[in-house]
Structure 1
Amino acid sequence: MFKIFIIEDDSGLVSLLQDYLHKFGYETRAVQDFERVRTEFETFEPHLVLLDVNLPKYDGYYWCRQIRGISTCPILFISARDGKMEQVMALDNGADDYITKPFDYEIAMAKIKSHLRRAYGTYAGSSNDRSLTVAGVTLDVERLMLLRGSAKIDLSHTEAKILDELMKKAGILVSRDRLLEKIWDDQAFVDENTLNVYVTRVRKKLGALGITEGLQTVRGQGYRLTPDWGDEG
C-alpha cells in the first residue's frame, strides 16, 4: 500500500484529501507539528508527499529542501499561489509537480498516480539496467546520481528520466512531446512551462560537472545532448 504524507494546515482540505485518497486504497498521514515536519516524514516513510506553500513557521519551499536532503520520493505542491514564479520556485527547490487550488480531485489523483507509477510502478524500470555512460558521464538511475570523474550530483526522479532519454539518444534531437510522453504519462495535465523548468535544472546539474554547452535547445522542436565535452581524466 502506498503511503502519502500531507503537509497542509487547512484541516478541512486535509480531511477531504484523506477521504478521497482512502477511496483509492492509499494510506495517509497529515503532519501534526509544523516545526517537526522532517521528523514526522522520517517516521512515516511515505512514498509521496503533498505539500502546501503557505505553512506555519517555515514555508513549503523550506520543507521541500529538507525532505530532498533525505529522500527522492515524489513531492507535489498543492497551493493557492498560481503565479509562474511560485511554480518555478517549487520545482527549483526539488518538487516534482505543482497543483493550483482550487483543483479538480480527478486531475490531482491522476497526477498522484502518474508520479507513483514513475517512481515505483509500471514505468520505474527494472533494476538490471539502471546506469548509462556517455563520454565519461555516468547516469545512475537507481541511485539518482550523475557522475563525472570524482564529482557526483544528486538528481530528482524527473531530472534522471530526462537525462536517461537524452543520453540514450545522445547527438539525436529528442522532441518535447517525446520527453513529455516519457516522463509524464498524463500529458494533458502538464503545464507547458514545467518541462522548460526541468531542462533548466538539468543544465545546471550538467554545469556543476563542468559541462556548460552539452544540452542544446532546438527552438520549437526539442533538445539534443551533444557529448563533445570529452572524457575527464
Structure 2
Amino acid sequence: MYKLLLIEDDRTLFQEIKERLSGWSYDVYGIKDFSRVMQEFAAVKPDCVIIDIQLPKYDGFHWCRLIRSRSNVPILFLSSRDHPADMVMSMQFGADDFIQKPFHFDVLIAKIQAIFRRVYDYNTEPNIVKTWCGATVDVERNLVVNETGTVELTKNEMFILKQLIEQKNKIVSREELIRSLWSDERFVSDNTLTVNVNRLRKKLDGLNLGQYIETKVGQGYMAKEEGSYI
C-alpha cells in the first residue's frame, strides 16, 4: 500500500480526499502541526506528497523546497491559485505536477497513478545503468556521473533524460514525452514539460552536458551524443 502525505489545512477537504483515496487502497496521512511539517514528513516516510500552496506558518513552496532538499519523493501541488507563475514556481522548486482546485477526483487519481507508474515501476527494468557522452547515467539512483562530478536528478528529470538517450540523436516530440511521463496529455500543461527540461539541462550544465540536450523548435527535444553534429 502506497503512503500519501496530504499537506492540507482545510479539514473538510482533507477528510474528503482521504476517504476517496483510501477507497483506492492508498494510506493517507495528514499534518497535525504545521510548524513541524518536516518532522512529520520524516516520521511518515511517504511515497508521495500532495501539498497546498496556502498553508499556516509557511506556504507550500517553502515546504516543497525543504522536502526536495532531502528527498526525491514525488510532490503534487493541489491549489486554488490559478496564476501560471504558481505552476512554474512549483516546478522550479521540484514539484512533479500541479492540479488546480476545484478539481474532478478522477483527475487526481489519474495524476497519482501516473506518478506511481513512472516513479516506481520503471526502476524494475534490468537496464538501469546507461552511458551517454562519456557519463554514467544511473537510472535507479537518479545520478549522472562523469569526470567533472556527480549530479542528482529528480524522478521526472531522470525519466526525461532516459527517454531522450534511449533515442539519442533522434528528435523526441513533446507529445511523446508528455504521454510517457503523464500517461494522458489532457491532464498536463505543456509548460510543465518545458520547466522540467530546462531544470534538467541546468543541472547537466554542472557536468558540461547541458549543451547536448537540444530544443528543436516546434518539434521536441534531442539528446545528442558527444561528437555528433546533427
> TM class by shorter-chain length?
over 0.9
Aligned to 1:154: 152
**1:217 and 2:222 aligned:** no
Q: Is the 8 A contact 1:151 1:209 kept in 2?
A: yes
AA of the residue aligned to 1:158: N
Aligned to 1:92: 92
Provide closer, same or farther for how the CA distance between residues 150 and 212 of structure 1 changes in structure 2, counting only shifts above 3 A: closer
Residue 13 of structure 1: how far off its partner (Å): 0.9
**What secondary structure sits across from 2:73 in the alignment?**
coil
Aligned residues: 228
Aligned to 1:74: 74
Equivalent-residue separation in structure 2 for 1:45 and 1:170 (angstroms): 36
Aligned to 2:10: 10
Equivalent-residue separation in structure 1 for 2:18 and 2:30 (angstroms): 8
Provide closer, same or farther for how the CA distance between residues 190 and 155 of structure 1 changes in structure 2, counting only shifts above 3 A: same
Stretch of structure 1 that moved more, 82-91 or 125-134: 125-134
Residue 34 of structure 1: how far off its partner (Å): 0.9
Equivalent-residue separation in structure 2 for 1:164 and 1:55 (angstroms): 35
- Show the 5 A alignment for 1:31-180: 31-121=31-121, 124-126=122-124, 128-180=126-178
Residue 212 of structure 1: how far off its partner (Å): 4.1
Equivalent-residue separation in structure 2 for 1:157 and 1:132 (angstroms): 16
**What secondary structure sits across from 1:77 in the alignment?**
strand
The gaps in structure 1 that reach 5 residues or longer are none
The gaps in structure 2 that reach 5 residues or longer are none
Equivalent-residue separation in structure 2 for 1:127 and 1:106 (angstroms): 29
Equivalent-residue separation in structure 1 for 2:220 and 2:139 (angstroms): 22
TM-score, normalised to structure 1, is: 0.93
Equivalent-residue separation in structure 2 for 1:117 and 1:216 (angstroms): 27
**What secondary structure sits across from 1:20 in the alignment?**
helix
Equivalent-residue separation in structure 2 for 1:28 and 1:55 (angstroms): 18
Q: Which runs of 4+ in 1 moved over 3 A?
A: none
**What secondary structure sits across from 1:139 in the alignment?**
strand
